[in-house]
Amino acid sequence: MLKRFSFSVLFILMLGAVLAACSDDSEEASSETGGGEEGETTISFIHWRGEDTDSFNKIIENFEAEYPDINVNMSAFPSDQYESTLQTKLKNGASGDVFAMFPGVQFETITGAGLAADISGEEFVSRFIDQYISVGEADGAQYGLPLQLVFNIPVYNKTMFDEYGLEPPKDWEGFLEVNKTLKENGVEYPIVFPAADNGQGQFMNPMMMNNELDEEIWVKVQEGERKVTEDWWVKTLEQIKELNDNGYFGQDALGITQDASGTIFAQEKAGMLAMGSYMMAQVHDQNPDMEMGLLAPITTSEEDMVFEGIHTTTFMLSVNEESDKKEEAKKFIEFLTRPESASIYANDTGQMLTLEDVNYESEVLKAQEPWTQKNTRFQPRYTITNGQVQDAVLGSIDSVLTGVEPAEAAEQAQQIIDQSL
């Protein structure tokens, strides 16, 4: 009995030792060579743009040809999952030697935790258009370089607008008139608004941009200096309610997801899509014959309008401060931001970029290019750095869509904001 017991214990100990040895080996392999051949280094590149992986793969292939001793292991995660798990992935430098960040809450948290390296002095920083990269700065240092330039204003079906003799409106009355004409002509969704997931966070931006001109407004709300019960936000909610009550969002905005809204728009059941320029490539793939443009709902009179639209600089490239492969990571960013790589990425994915000297060739990008010359405002939602405040603000739009009076919805949101201060 004792002998059998001793053998069993010995067996378990040996098994443990073997497993431990394997574990040590594999860990060493992944940290030093990343599983590649001897002398090679593998860097991890993580982001949330699954739809861009084909284009990134082309660029990575070119990069690995130029730097045969560096391999790039790219992983793309769903955006909500990415948002919630990025800091865990970055800790200890386990992954994300190069990573992308959202501006706003995520940028604040990641830089606050010291997980983004300061890349201020790098040569490739000068390739970016100055006005677009300030969002990646904190305390005078550059921690992130936003690659994408997005216009967060509705996309419209230019073919349909031409058919009904419509032009992008210049004031609120004009915007209502456009919606009315579309509805009277049997268009199911004059403006399809995917409020089941991301619509509120997008559409709130152009809806509020001229109602409150102070670009620091959300900072002040978070500091308790200003309130969402003031006229500017209540008016924004009232205007959203007006669109909803008139049936311009179609049957049920709260049941429509972003993906579904893209499909509805591509099927020409909608005149406008209340999202942003980043949807244009997807819609173009689904319906290449449809001509598209961008327009912003101007919520004031033409004379009172200051901002013509909204822009966001996002997909902020950064280097993991905890990584022991920072030099290789910077080489990859340097390669990615060269005009020839950037042009491949822009034309493949239909994304405007924040870099100089990019050669835009696709139809979708040509439709967006004029907007770089307009007076656009940085996406106000991304200036909300407190997640609870953001949820409260977006929740007030939900409430209005479900029939709650704008003043009451604003009051409820303010209660949550007060509690989070």
Partner 1 sequence: MRFSKRLYLFLIPGALLYFTFFILPTLGAFFYSITDWDGANQNFNFVGLANYIDLITNDIVFMKSLGNNLKFLLAVVIFQTIFSLIFALILIKNTKTNIFFRALFFFPTILSSVSVAFIWSFIYAPSIGILNPFLETVGLGGITQSWLGNPDIAIFSLAFVQIWFHTGQVMIIFIAGLQNVPKELYEAATVDGAGKWQRFSKITWPLIAPSTTMVVGYTIIQSFKAFDLVYAMTGGGPAFSTEILVTFIYNSAFSHYQFGYASAASVILMIIVAGITMIQFRLINRNKVEH
Asked if residue 268 binds partner 1 (CB under 8 A), the reply is no
From 95-103, 135-143, 192-200, 346-354, span contacting partner 1 (CB under 8 A)? 192-200
From 103-111, 134-142, 161-169, 375-383, span contacting partner 1 (CB under 8 A)? 103-111
Q: Which of 30, 79, 109, 372 binds partner 1 (CB under 8 A)?
A: 109
Distance between CA 341 and CA 38 in Å, rounded? 28
Distance between CA 207 and CA 282 in Å, rounded? 24
Q: Which of 35, 114, 224, 370 binds partner 1 (CB under 8 A)?
A: 114
From 85-93, 145-153, 168-176, 342-350, span contacting partner 1 (CB under 8 A)? 85-93
85 vs 286, beta carbon nearer partner 1:
85
Are 318 and 96 within 8 A, CB to CB?
no
Distance between CA 299 and CA 295 in Å, rounded? 12
Smallest gap from residue 210 Cβ to partner 1 (A) = 25
Of 302, 295, 333, which Cα lies nearest the Cα of 119?
333
Q: Which of 93, 174, 247, 395 binds partner 1 (CB under 8 A)?
A: 395
Sequence-separated (6 or more) residues with CB below 8 Å from residue 300: 171, 172, 210, 211
Asked if residue 83 binds partner 1 (CB under 8 A), the reply is yes
From 51-59, 210-218, 253-261, 313-321, span contacting partner 1 (CB under 8 A)? 253-261
DSSP bridge pairs for 72 = 43
| Helix (H) or strand (E) run with residue 27 in it | helix 2-32
Are 143 and 90 within 8 A, CB to CB?
no
**Burial zone of 373 (CB within 10 Å; 0-12 exposed, 13-18 middle, 19+ buried):** exposed
363 vs 391, beta carbon nearer partner 1:
391
Residues that bind partner 1 (CB under 8 A): 1, 5, 9, 12, 80, 83-85, 87, 91, 105, 109-110, 112-115, 188, 195-197, 250-257, 260, 263-264, 269, 386-388, 391, 395-396, 398-399, 401-402, 404, 409, 412, 415-416, 419
